[in-house]
Structure 1
Amino acid sequence: MKKAISAILAATMLFSTVVTGCGNGQQASTSSGAEGQQKTSGKTVVTFWGASVSADRQKFFDYFTKKVSETYPDIQLEFLGVPGNLQDYRQKLDVAIQAGTAPDITNDFRPALVTNGYYQDLTPYFEKWKDKGEINEELIKANKTYDPRGKGLYALPYSSQTWNMWVRPDWLKEAGMKTPETWPDFFSAVHKMTDKSKSRYGLAIRGGGGSANTLEMLMYSYSGIDHYFTPDGKATINDPKHVEFLNKYLGCYNVDTAQDDLTKGWTELANAFQSDKAGIVVHNLGSGASMAKAFNNDTSKFQAARFPKSEKGYVLHPGLMPLGLSMSSSSKNKDAVWKVITLYLSEEVNTEYCKLYGEIPANKKAAQNSFFKDTQYMKVGVDLLNSNDVKFNDTPYYMPAYANVQSQMESSIQKVMTKQMSAKDMLDQWAQLLEKARSNYLAPLNG
């Protein structure tokens, strides 16, 4: 775990040294919609919006809402689960912030909302919290990287999430192969598992929403390059090794993948894998519960596997994304909000959350639960965090425009898949956008 966090800290170290005298950013002009309300029962209302909430996830939040009422009878939690992808959630929240109707609590931690003042600095609350020692210190450090000063805690971390391949061991066995541990074996397995006469493909590629995020981590995993920028600020994403990888990986499209992969998001990829249409897909452990349900826990038909070793001989994983619950700086009931947030981090709740979401708990006691050590897919994540042959990239989550750059690249990825654009031209465009995002991030800090 410390290796993973050190990659994030190294990427932001220079930024925290050049911001002496900088403020917390412009205060967001918003007042949370239901904040301060008192029901006729006299209860304090706390509002919470959750991102990408499916039917299964809603059950957890129903449980948590009930838990809040049982633990704090004077608090009424009003939870809104926003379905769809993360971008849908962000758009809804941004509109609410502008309208002054944003919630007290959000669970999509974004650097832009640190710099614009929407988030409350939780440091004073955390320092006084009697159970602060139960939270993984490395995750606290990681979340502080979103503060340009490197000091403020703007989200209380609830977990860490690792990425992986989902593979069909039964298909691999039929093809005379094991789970690929090198990229040559990966491409060989993809080809051997493909049988178009059965509408069966060795791979499903995410060509729709979220494609850039997946593709980005895979190309770095292939090259083994563990830094996004050179010391002089040049992006590494257009390295020749990444061009080489894209020609191989996206070259599988409509050869060892289905034609409709061009527009597939995660839901469609999961359906392809679970309905015997694809042998390998890439996602995080958050899909573990749905995989287990789809295959009736039969791990001869589904398993998680870490990415193949890079050309440099080690496995390269993206930096662990800071996750956590944040409080609106304009909340009128901050003490009540803090109580709800810390209950979310209790051993019981954190365990239930992470079992469902396929994440590794921030609560140290919860992390010792046998589920995270004995469940095949969770063990892959736990082992990855502690393996000596795994390195973590310095993924620049801290740049407010980072996610926007990925969104901008999605249409270009489709052009490469359909051979309307070269991989090199796309990556050169990607590099320019990242360099501009970095320059814009540094400008006010150096001013």
Structure 2
Amino acid sequence: MKISKTHRARAAAAMSLTAVLALTVTGCGDDGSGFAGGAGAEGDGKGKIVFWDNNGGVRTDIWKEIIAGFEKENPGIEVQYVGVAATEIQTKYDNAIQGGGLPDVGGVGAAMLAGLAAQGSLEPLEDRSADSSLDGELDPGMVEAMKAAGGSEAHTYNVPISANNGVLYYRTDLFKRAGLAAPATWDDFYKAAEKLSDPKKNRFGYTIRGGAGSIAQAMDAMYGQSGITSFWDAKGEKTTLDDPRNVAALEKYAALYKKVTPSADLNNDFIKMVAQYDSGTIGMVNHNLGSYQDHVTALGTARFRGVPQPIGVGGKRVQVSNPVDGLGLFKSSEHKAAAWKFIEYAASHEANSKFNEQAGLIPANIEAAKDPWVSRAEPTALAAKALTDGSTVTVQLPYYLPDWNGISKADNEPELQKVLLGRTSAKEFLTKMAGELNDAQAEWKEQQPSA
């Protein structure tokens, strides 16, 4: 597959940084596949494998627990854990693809899957899955979501571990004190954000995400308010991102900054945003299931709730797709058999249930999703229900575009900050990003085989 202009530029820039990044070396050399990694080997099912956690620091403890269980069952395999922050994982993968040093196994979410697959760095996994204990044990929707995100009709490049979903967390104690009902609709949300705010007393109704990962949250608010249910027009050529209804929604949402939110929100990634919500007197925060346990630790279960995104136009709840997360096997691995054993173990009932209970996410393993803890964790149970009971329409984001991760994150997050600061209009921002997405979609379609 031809790699797009945007991705080539990003890869070239990444290569120049290789010398200053400390990478875990697992093998070098160029086998002609387009990345410095070699073709790898199956190995004998034993030895040392390297695992990169794509949410290091947040999921470190539970992954180390999973690894300990795996090593106990597989004494001939040692797993070296490397935690990489979610904000840095894309750059680290890109650098390792160009300069060598990919892990054997790595956390690869749907948003970055197509870009890695397009560079030839991932091993196809459909045959391994079909011949393993995982056959028929994983949620079909998550499996299909990963296959679609990889951008290939023939291959599956990832084994799903969990699914996430957008959640509106709100402080039940603050809402009760203010005489406010739960924020079930977007009108409720804006009313509460206003009423709970008193900047002079350092009280705010909402905390907005202005740093890394801000665009996905903003799109959730845009499509949720506009009620638009497709990311592309009927021909699949032009994005609806810059539709006037989305422009109006973003204008209203961005206007919250500094009026009912802290000024520090401009640079907050999810870690800082969540910590700010948990430690202060902020009424609401939009995040996802992944921060549920943080809120429980800080606030207990009586002072907050996590509910699905608000209802918008015509009583309809619309949200953007939250990516499925999973594990990929890298083609350069010299121990593919051992690496696959680790992936198979991590996706098994017991390990997958343990991981997702700690993370507060929806398990990919069908049996794990039936375990009692799922119904006890209210946000997880409500999210799973919303995704299956017909009450929610999900706008599917184009994770299959190799350039999606770059366009929707690093390339345009600074532009969204300009919108929050009032230096760029919502229309200008969305027009620019829509143009880049339309170009990426056209290039991707050109690369597809003729019917």
Quickly name the TM-score band, shorter chain normalised: 0.7 to 0.9
Structure-1 residue corresponding to 2:144: 141
Structure-1 residue corresponding to 2:95: 95
Per-residue CA shift, 1:263-290, capped at 9, x if unaligned? Answer: 1111221122111232111111001111
Alignment partner of 1:65 is 2:63: no
Describe how 1:300-311 pairs up with structure 2 within 5 A: 301-311=303-313
Structure-2 residue corresponding to 1:188: 191
3-state DSSP class of the match of 1:134?
A: coil
- CA drift of 1:131 comes to 3.7
Q: AA paired with 2:389? A: S
- CA drift of 1:373 comes to 0.8
3-state DSSP class of the match of 1:202?
A: strand
3-state DSSP class of the match of 1:214?
A: helix
Q: More displaced, 203-212 or 403-412?
A: 403-412
Find 2:391's aligned residue among 389, 392, 396: 389
Q: How has the CA–CA distance of structure 1 residues 32 and 322 changed in structure 2, closer, same or farther, with 3 Å as cutoff?
A: farther
In the alignment, is the contact (CA less than 8 A) between 1:34 and 1:101 conserved in 2? no
Q: AA paired with 1:81? A: G
Q: AA paired with 2:144? A: K
Structure-2 residue corresponding to 1:47: 50
Structure-1 residue corresponding to 2:35: 29
In the alignment, is the contact (CA less than 8 A) between 1:229 and 1:236 conserved in 2? yes
Q: AA paired with 1:341? A: I
CA distance in 2, matches of 1:251, 1:130: 51
Q: AA paired with 2:282? A: A
CA distance in 2, matches of 1:340, 1:395: 29
Structure-2 residue corresponding to 1:372: 374
Alignment partner of 1:162 is 2:165: yes
3-state DSSP class of the match of 2:315?
A: coil
- CA drift of 1:97 comes to 2.0
Q: More displaced, 313-322 or 368-377?
A: 313-322
Alignment partner of 1:294 is 2:283: no
In the alignment, is the contact (CA less than 8 A) between 2:134 and 2:347 conserved in 1? no
3-state DSSP class of the match of 2:59?
A: helix
- CA drift of 1:36 comes to 8.3
CA distance in 1, matches of 2:39, 2:68: 22
3-state DSSP class of the match of 1:307?
A: coil
CA distance in 1, matches of 2:272, 2:324: 26
CA distance in 1, matches of 2:217, 2:244: 19
Per-residue CA shift, 1:186-205, capped at 9, x if unaligned? Answer: 10110001122320100111
Find 2:234's aligned residue among 231, 238, 246: 231
In the alignment, is the contact (CA less than 8 A) between 1:143 and 1:157 conserved in 2? yes
Q: How has the CA–CA distance of structure 1 residues 181 and 348 changed in structure 2, closer, same or farther, with 3 Å as cutoff?
A: same
In the alignment, is the contact (CA less than 8 A) between 1:373 and 1:379 conserved in 2? yes
Structure-2 residue corresponding to 1:281: 285
Alignment partner of 1:413 is 2:416: yes
CA distance in 1, matches of 2:252, 2:101: 47
CA distance in 2, matches of 1:35, 1:334: 6
CA distance in 1, matches of 2:240, 2:420: 21
Structure-2 residue corresponding to 1:318: 320
CA distance in 2, matches of 1:160, 1:327: 19
CA distance in 2, matches of 1:273, 1:133: 40
Stretches of structure 1 lacking an aligned partner (at least 5 in a row) = 1-25
Q: How has the CA–CA distance of structure 1 residues 148 and 266 changed in structure 2, closer, same or farther, with 3 Å as cutoff?
A: closer
Q: More displaced, 186-195 or 267-276?
A: 267-276
Describe how 1:213-252 pairs up with structure 2 within 5 A: 213-232=216-235, 233-252=237-256
Q: How has the CA–CA distance of structure 1 residues 119 and 285 changed in structure 2, closer, same or farther, with 3 Å as cutoff?
A: same
Q: Which runs of 4+ in 1 moved over 3 A?
A: 32-38
Q: AA paired with 1:204? A: T
- CA drift of 1:231 comes to 2.5
In the alignment, is the contact (CA less than 8 A) between 2:224 and 2:311 conserved in 1? yes
Q: How many residues align structurally?
A: 414
Q: AA paired with 2:248? A: E
Describe how 1:424-435 pairs up with structure 2 within 5 A: 424-435=427-438
CA distance in 1, matches of 2:88, 2:227: 33
Q: How has the CA–CA distance of structure 1 residues 32 and 291 changed in structure 2, closer, same or farther, with 3 Å as cutoff?
A: farther
Structure-1 residue corresponding to 2:202: 199
Percent identity of paired positions between Structure 1 and Structure 2: 27
3-state DSSP class of the match of 2:160?
A: coil
In the alignment, is the contact (CA less than 8 A) between 2:123 and 2:331 conserved in 1? yes
Q: AA paired with 1:63? A: E
Structure-1 residue corresponding to 2:349: 347
CA distance in 2, matches of 1:120, 1:171: 50
Structure-1 residue corresponding to 2:116: 113
Q: How has the CA–CA distance of structure 1 residues 34 and 444 changed in structure 2, closer, same or farther, with 3 Å as cutoff?
A: closer
Structure-1 residue corresponding to 2:19: none
Give the aligned CA root-mean-square deviation in angstroms.
Answer: 2.1
CA distance in 2, matches of 1:158, 1:358: 12
3-state DSSP class of the match of 1:252?
A: coil
In the alignment, is the contact (CA less than 8 A) between 2:320 and 2:394 conserved in 1? yes
Per-residue CA shift, 1:23-67, capped at 9, x if unaligned? Answer: xxx8343337998899xxx9511111111211x622212212211
CA distance in 1, matches of 2:270, 2:196: 21
Alignment partner of 1:401 is 2:403: yes
